[in-house]
Amino acid sequence: MSEDIGEGGVASEISELAAEAGEERGSPSPSNHVGQALRRKEDPRLIMGLARYVDDITLKGTVWAALVRSPEAHAKVVSIDASAARERLGIYAVFTGDDMADLGGPLPMAWVPPDVEVKNPEHWPLARGTVNHVGDPVAVVLGEDRYAVVDAAEDVVVEYEPLEVVTDPEKALEGPPFVHEELGTNKVHEWSLPGGDVEAGFAEADAIVERRVVNHRIAGAPIEPRGVLADYRAGELTLWSATQVPHFVRLFLSILLGISEEKVRVIAPEVGGGFGQKLQVYGEEVLAAWCSRKLERPVKWIETRTENMAVAHQGRDQIATVRMGAKRDGKITAFHVKILADFGAYNMLLTPLIPSLGAFVMSGCYAIPNVRTDIVGVFTNKAPTDAIRGAGRPEATHMIEVTLDQLAAELGMDPLEIRRRNFIPKDSFPAEVATGVVYDSGDYEKTLDKLLEHVDMDAFRSEQEALRSEGIYRGIGFSTYTEICGLAPSRITGPGGVGVQAGGWESALVRVHNTGAVTAYTGSSGHGQGHETAFAQIVADRLGVDPEIVEVVHGDTNAGPEGRNTYGSRSLAVGGEALARCANQVADKAKAIVAHNLEAAVEDIELADGKFSVKGSPYKGMTLAEVAGAAYLHMVPEGMDPGLEETTFHDPHNFVFPFGAHACVVDVDPDTGKTNVIRYVAVDDCGNAINPLIIEGQVHGGIVHAIGQALYERVSYDEDGQLVTGTFVDYALPTAAELPSFETDRTVTPSPVNSLGAKGVGEAGTIAASAAVTNAVIDALRPLGINYINMPLTPMRVWEEIQSAKGGVAA
Amino acid sequence: MSKPIPVRLRVNGVEHELEVEPRRLLVHALRDDLGLTGTHVGCDTSNCGACTVHLDGGAVKSCTVLAVQAEGAEITTIEGMASSDGELHPLQEAFWNDHGLQCGYCTPGMIMAAAGLLAENSNPTEDEVRHALEGNLCRCTGYHNIVKAVLDAAKVKGPSIEQQEVPA
């Protein structure tokens, strides 16, 4: 207890007792937790094996589900005979698409761009009539045991009549064959974002480079596969899902199952990574809920990795033709990108929108007067694509940064010099680029300068030359990127803007309990990012308490207001800002209560050193615990309602645009084609830091996602649409053994878009890194006559390029 | 389905007798039969290592061991790593301090694999740590802070690691 409100003070004895109950909780706390590298609050349960992921939750009477999936890439389902499966011991039921005729509609696609036709075939939780990619589900088997349902699923006999398969997006565009015969085309849509006049820009150019940039298909590959536990009882549905977006899942479960929304509760418990793959409304979620209602039993479906590789949505898979033109002095005059985006067999929640996200930052961090992106989407008999970490922006950055190096070589310029000549100057922010997008803040020279404090280019070049004489091919590559995140401003993303059928706002609820402990609810839904720590830091500082007593609750649609979840590096810039504003409102009410109780003017109350005190009389004040006591005992000003909690919805006026400069150093073995990353330096600017420890972690993971794509990972299908990379044996995720430790640094250019001055950082590393790696490999191989190469830079591909550059024939 | 047979396991110092199908994987016996859900499953090909536990003192992937093969064995899972009074194992402490985890799903397996390494090599180099963790996949951290955590834990004096390696 602080002494100043004791004797003759205004706080009641009960208030004192409440504060004493939370002795530590009520004690003053320095209000500078934001910016500190606090270790995470969520970690103890995770490191002790006490966290609860979906498969760790058990309900009495749970029935297991296993799916019968198509081994064919494209076929008519002629018949399904489940009689043998049904007769097995412990099997409750087998259902097919025909049994689900009562479903309220097909799975959702939430992008309706104004004035653009998007072909959107029906997509059902269980196939109706045809299967369109390997893994498409045709039946579900329900039984009492995890192993028994898998046995029974093997007894379901499905007769398929194979149809012609198309897996190559360029051939698909010319179709037939058509993935969806009824559409009469494989083309999904055409969408453009023009800025200036690219043809006029090319007419002015002294040099033009044109490249075919293939950004191959990758998997999200969270280490926890997807999983659902659905419990429908007495008219109410509770569904636990390994999802990033519980609020979206609730909405669509309500619509598709015809259950009033307030009777649907979706919980994202501990979620073992998402990377965009769990930004989805999946058929299995709808199916588990439907089955639970049908059987009146809880139903659990836990995905195997093999299923995850075949059916969870994948990412990238774009073929682009890019043209960049510049004057002799390196000033870029035009950049024109034509993207063919392979969407696989269906539109998922946001599939056709993904390449457009790249178009918004196709200027990169450069002042390019004329920029245009033209996108064509196409269906193929492969798993659908949708958002995977970065979602459209890694592809865009790769195109910009690799092409810029190509242009520099064409002009005989240093790759860093051409970047400097085109950087948007730091004094021109907020900066409107050619497409009309307004970048919030930036200082690109500063991050590059800082990068070069870590990387001595003169020393590198002499070392590189010396090593070449020993047969070691070392290269350095750069990527100076910016990206667009904090997905958000509804006026731009929503129905009145580009047409996403959802608001981009976020919600917060801050509740101060009787003892001064705080619960902070956020509508964003973390799955490893550290919400519970970073958000607690934000709230704690605004209320003068320790983050230890601020419990952050997320991922439960029954806890807290309606929310818009986590994706697109939005949690901090949108959700964190909502919480900050909400906590400020609570603090404002607290100040009014303190003023009332201390008989001071509210303008004279300030929060300092963990106390709401009277300016100039720091001994006179109340802790949050004491304020809470007063608030709940109705010791509040006349006309003020009791209680100490507020709810806030926040819709920012713009996106945020993190940026940075990355350098990658590789050694390429010319005999085997194998590339080793031997050094990676990243200088990122995500505005003000809330928790630098978390930022570093996000950057590390992001970089490796892109190194993985550049060097190792590739989802591969053969011509018959058979998935060649169906397990972690065939799909090469990077391991610790392939990677170096990273060198990271930051500059700080606050965002003016939110009061935190913060920008997202979850995707930045992934958006930046593939170009740095690719440019490094090209830099290493130039002496061998290789000036351009597409990812993945596997030993085989690099070796083949080396052989063909030698004039030999690659085996 | 074959007839269940009895199997005795000593897990985190506690004796258990179970009836399991011969094909039942150790990881399912631990998770579903004994409720020790800290051990995770991330793949079906023994690549990801999320299911790593210690069997008679050595790290194994419990998705690759049948429960019946573990008959009579001493098993330690992540739940058995902290001491009975709640003191964290030096590796747990180091993972926490160094931000060696994000979503936490691979973490138990990483910690068990790292403990296996430190039991054999109490003073590993960075390269040795990286190679020892080759069989454990993480998608969140880029491994940087995991490797740092293992190196930091190794700096903690050996005895406390050894002491907690095999529960009494």
Cβ <8 Å between A728 and B48? yes
**Amino acid type, A711:** L
| A691 closest CA partner among A521, A545, A540 | A540
Distance to chain B for A213, nearest Cα, Å? 26
- Give every CB contact of residue B163 below 8 A, 6+ residues apart in sequence: none
Cβ <8 Å between A53 and B105? yes
Q: Encoding tokens for residue A355?
A: 């390449």
Chain A positions touching B139 (Cβ under 8 A) are: 221-223, 273, 275, 701, 705, 733
Per-residue pLDDT at A580: 98
Rounded to an integer, the average pLDDT of B124-135 is: 98
Q: Encoding tokens for residue B15?
A: 């004796």
| A240 closest CA partner among A270, A277, A268, A204 | A268
Cβ atoms A524, A564 nearer than 8 A = yes
Q: Which 95-154 residues of chain B touch chain A by CB within 8 A?
A: 95-97, 99, 101-108, 111, 126, 129-131, 133-148
Using CB atoms within 10 Å of the CB of residue A26, give its burial: 0 to 12 exposed, 13 to 18 middle, 19+ buried: buried
> What are the extents of the domains in chain B?
5-80, 90-165
Chain B positions touching A694 (Cβ under 8 A) are: 99
Per-residue pLDDT at B166: 44
CA distances from A505 to A344, A393, A561, A571, A750 (A): 30, 21, 12, 10, 21
Secondary structure of residue A458 in the 3-state scheme: helix
Crossing angle between the packed helical segments A692-707 and B144-155, to the nearest 10 degrees: 120
| A279 closest CA partner among A312, A317, A238 | A312
Which tens digit of pLDDT belongs to each residue from A643-696?
999 999 999 999 999 999 999 999 999 999 999 999 999 999 999 999 999 999
Helix ranges, A720-794 (H)? 764-781
Cα atoms found within 13 Å of the Cα of residue A308, Cβ hemisphere only: 27
CA B134 to chain centre: 15
Which tens digit of pLDDT belongs to each residue from A217-274?
999 999 999 999 999 999 999 999 999 999 999 999 999 999 999 999 999 999 999 9
pTM score, whole prediction: 0.95
Distance to chain A for B43, nearest Cα, Å? 5
CA–CA separation, A360 and A437 (whole Å): 7
ipTM of the complex: 0.95
Name beta bridge partners: A573: none
Chain A positions touching B39 (Cβ under 8 A) are: 49
Name beta bridge partners: A607: A612
Which tens digit of pLDDT belongs to each residue from A255-267?
999 999 999 999 9
**Amino acid type, B30:** L
Alpha-carbon dihedral sign for residues A73, A155, A65, B103: negative
Cβ atoms B10, B74 nearer than 8 A = yes
Q: Encoding tokens for residue A26?
A: 């009520």
Which tens digit of pLDDT belongs to each residue from A708-756?
999 999 999 999 999 999 999 999 999 999 999 999 999 999 999 999 9
Considering CB atoms only, which of A694, A700, A735 is closest to B137? A735
Which tens digit of pLDDT belongs to each residue from B152-161?
999 986 544 4
Considering CB atoms only, which of B31, B102, B144 is closest to A528? B102
Cβ atoms A259, A753 nearer than 8 A = no
Distance to chain B for A525, nearest Cα, Å? 12
A222-311 topology per CATH: Aldehyde Oxidoreductase; domain 4 (3.30.365)
Specify the CATH class of A3-30+505-650 in words: alpha beta
Per-residue pLDDT at A619: 84
A9 pLDDT tier (thresholds 50, 70, 90): very low
Cβ atoms A359, A370 nearer than 8 A = no
Considering CB atoms only, which of B38, B43, B97 is closest to A50? B38
Per-residue pLDDT at A7: 37
CATH 3.40.50.300 for domain B90-165: no
Per-residue pLDDT at A488: 79
Cβ atoms A335, B75 nearer than 8 A = no
Name beta bridge partners: A75: A131, A162
CATH, domain range A388-487+654-805: 3.30.365.10
Category of A316 on φ-ψ map: left (φ > 0), alpha (ψ -120 to 50) or beta? left
Backbone angles phi, psi at A717, to 5 degrees: -120, 145
CA A119 to chain centre: 25
CA A773 to chain centre: 21
A617 pLDDT tier (thresholds 50, 70, 90): confident
Per-residue pLDDT at A25: 36
Considering CB atoms only, which of B36, B139, B146 is closest to A223? B139
Secondary structure of residue A488 in the 3-state scheme: coil
CA–CA separation, A786 and A406 (whole Å): 12
CATH, domain range B5-80: 3.10.20.30
Chain B positions touching A48 (Cβ under 8 A) are: 38, 78-79, 81-82, 88, 92
The DSSP bridge pattern shows strands A315-326 and A332-342 to be: antiparallel
| A749 closest CA partner among A657, A654, A662 | A657
Distance to chain A for B72, nearest Cα, Å? 24
A63-178 topology per CATH: Aldehyde Oxidoreductase; domain 3 (3.90.1170)
Rounded to an integer, the average pLDDT of A548-552 is: 98
Cβ atoms A728, A304 nearer than 8 A = no
Check for a shared fold between A3-30+505-650 and A63-178: no
